[in-house]
Amino acid sequence: MYYFNCILLIDDDPISNEITGELLRRLYFTDQIKYALSGTEGLEFIEEFHREKGTFPELILIDINMPGMDGFQFVEKLNSLPISKDDQFKISALTSSSNPKDMEMMAKLGVDHYIVKPLNSNKVKELLSAIN
pLDDT digits (tens, 9 = 90+) for 61-97: 999 999 999 999 999 999 888 776 556 788 999 999 9
pTM: 0.90
Could you tell me if residue 15 is inside a domain? yes
Quick check: helix, strand or coil at residue 55?
Answer: coil
CB atoms within 10 A of CB 85: 5
Sign of the dihedral defined by the CA atoms of residues 50, 107, 122, 98, in that order: positive
User: Residue 35 forms beta bridges with which residues?
Assistant: 9
Number of structural domains the chain divides into: 1
Q: Given a cut of 80, is residue 28 above it in pLDDT?
A: no
Could you tell me if residue 12 is inside a domain? yes
Full domain range(s) for residue 70: 7-131
CATH number at residue 32: 3.40.50.2300
Mean pLDDT calculated for residue range 103-113:
94
State how far the alpha carbon of 11 is from the alpha carbons of 1, 18, 22, 38, 54, in Å: 26, 10, 15, 6, 24
Mean pLDDT calculated for residue range 103-127:
90
Which residue type, as a one-letter code, is found at position 57? P
pLDDT attached to residue 86: 57
Could you tell me if residue 1 is inside a domain? no
